[in-house]
């Protein structure tokens, strides 16, 4: 009798343990972008730290912190994901392009001028980036979204595109550097958090970043001229360590992918609203989100825009095709190129 009871208790204990294991939540530890900017504040942080646990009834629990809180600068993040330090990361392809120029292809400086087209570009190029993330970083690409328009914020007076010649301009991606050199400027790589002191000390004369990031990071306290020439988008990614992804059940993968797709749509919609608000705020106009700055608004002329477009094709696209190679350029031509009506040619 005692033996029978003992056997029954062991069986019950194993059953309880199995049930607990089955109910154990999936924990996803991640790193987001900048904690003081809209993408993290409105989307990345709330989705992972609050929403997904409630929506999944506790089956998926996120633990997301911004790179600013973790003391990271962006360039090292995907290597940490590859090594399993983080399960998931948000970042800019420009920060990983040093590994392979293919990562630049969906956000080449100046080639895309409106957010609707940029979304089409991102969707068309997604499979190419998906393969690159898997091959180079052992990661599953799950999201592509964009920051607001990337524009130029300068301390010296800027009246037109020709005034950028000789200026030291902060960039964060190679193709932005190509654009700067195309206008006769000097490209300088400076982490986002260090741009304000760099402008103050004259390390750089201008900086390139998104409209809302420029306002929220208070670039208007040191820069004086807002030259609203659109030179990029700050396209960003969300990617998960492939081993972590494969450890999820097919049902969990499908559920999480669906939720992230919906999040991506919300992020694109939010970004579409931000440009006009941010430019107004940073140039002393109506500002529903805080105190306005007082930068001088400088709009590019038709001549400026024509020069920008010429640089985009003759310098930016040409240089990228050389970096990426013939096969890479051909893939771009078959996807993004068809949308933009452009052709990348590698010599």
In terms of DSSP H, where are the helices of the chain? 2-23, 38, 45-46, 52-55, 67-70, 77-82, 115-137, 174-182, 195-201, 211-216, 242-247, 250-282, 302-311, 318-324, 326-332, 338-340
pLDDT of residue 16: 37
- 151: which strand partners? 209
Residue 56, pLDDT above cutoff 60:
yes
Q: Which of 40-54, 62-76, 256-270 bottoms out in mean pLDDT, i.e. has the lowest?
A: 62-76
Least confident of 94-108, 273-287, 307-321: 94-108
Per-residue pLDDT of 90-111, as tens digits, reads 999 878 888 899 999 999 999 9
Cα(198)–Cα(206) distance, integer angstroms: 9
Task: Output phi, psi for 331, to 5 deg.
Answer: -60, -40
Give the pLDDT mean for 240-256.
98
| Rounded Cα distance, 231 and 113, in Å | 8
What local confidence, expressed as pLDDT, does residue 96 receive?
87
Domains along the chain with CATH numbers: 21-147+234-272 (3.40.190.170), 150-232+276-340 (3.40.190.170)
The confidence score (pLDDT) of residue 15 equals 39
pLDDT of residue 73 exceeding 60, the answer is: yes
Mean pLDDT lowest for which of 10-19, 95-104, 172-181, 295-304? 10-19
Buried b / exposed e across 40-71, counting CB within 10 Å, b at 16+? bbebbbebbbeebeeebeebbebebbbbbeee
d(CA 243, CA 240): 9
**Range name among 2-6, 56-60, 275-279 with the lowest pLDDT average:** 2-6
d(CA 82, CA 87): 9
Q: Report whether 319 contacts 173 (CB < 8 A).
A: no
**pLDDT tens sequence across 2-48:** 455 444 444 443 333 344 345 699 999 999 999 999 999 999 999 99
Q: What is the pLDDT of residue 93?
A: 86
Which pLDDT score is estimated for 23? 67
Q: What is the pLDDT of residue 20?
A: 39
What is the pTM assigned to this prediction?
0.87
75: which 2 tokens?
């360039």
């Amino acid at each position: 009798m005692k033996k029978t009871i003992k056997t029954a208790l062991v069986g019950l204990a194993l059953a309880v343990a199995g049930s607990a294991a089955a109910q154990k939540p999936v924990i996803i530890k991640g790193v987001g972008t900048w904690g003081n900017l809209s993408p993290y504040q409105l989307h990345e942080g709330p989705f992972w730290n609050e929403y997904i646990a409630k929506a999944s009834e506790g089956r998926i629990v996120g633990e997301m912190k911004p790179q600013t809180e973790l003391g990271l600068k962006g360039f090292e993040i995907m290597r940490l994901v590859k090594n399993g330090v983080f399960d998931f990361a948000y970042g800019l392809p420009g920060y990983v392009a040093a590994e392979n120029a293919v990562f630049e292809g969906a956000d080449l400086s100046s080639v895309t001028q409106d957010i609707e087209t940029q979304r089409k570009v991102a969707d068309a190029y997604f499979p190419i980036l998906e393969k690159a993330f898997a091959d180079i970083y052992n990661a599953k690409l799950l999201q592509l979204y964009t920051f607001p328009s990337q524009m130029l914020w300068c301390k010296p007076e800027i009246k037109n595109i020709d005034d950028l010649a000789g200026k030291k301009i902060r960039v964060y991606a190679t193709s932005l550097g190509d654009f700067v050199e195309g206008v006769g400027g000097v490209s300088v790589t400076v982490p986002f958090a260090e741009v304000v002191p760099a402008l103050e000390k004259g390390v750089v004369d201008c900086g390139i970043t998104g409209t809302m990031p420029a306002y929220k990071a208070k670039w208007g306290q040191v820069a004086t001229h807002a030259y609203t020439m659109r030179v990029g988008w700050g396209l960003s990614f969300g990617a998960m360590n492939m081993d972590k992804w494969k450890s999820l059940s097919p049902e969990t993968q499908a559920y999480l992918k669906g939720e992230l797709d919906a999040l991506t749509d919300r992020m694109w919609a939010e970004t579409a609203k931000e440009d006009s608000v941010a430019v107004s705020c940073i140039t002393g106009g109506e500002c529903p989100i805080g105190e306005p700055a007082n930068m001088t608004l400088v709009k590019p002329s038709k001549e400026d825009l024509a020069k920008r477009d010429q640089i985009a094709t003759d310098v930016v696209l040409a240089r990228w095709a050389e970096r990426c190679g013939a096969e890479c350029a051909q893939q771009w031509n078959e996807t993004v190129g068809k949308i933009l009506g452009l052709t990348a040619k590698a010599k």
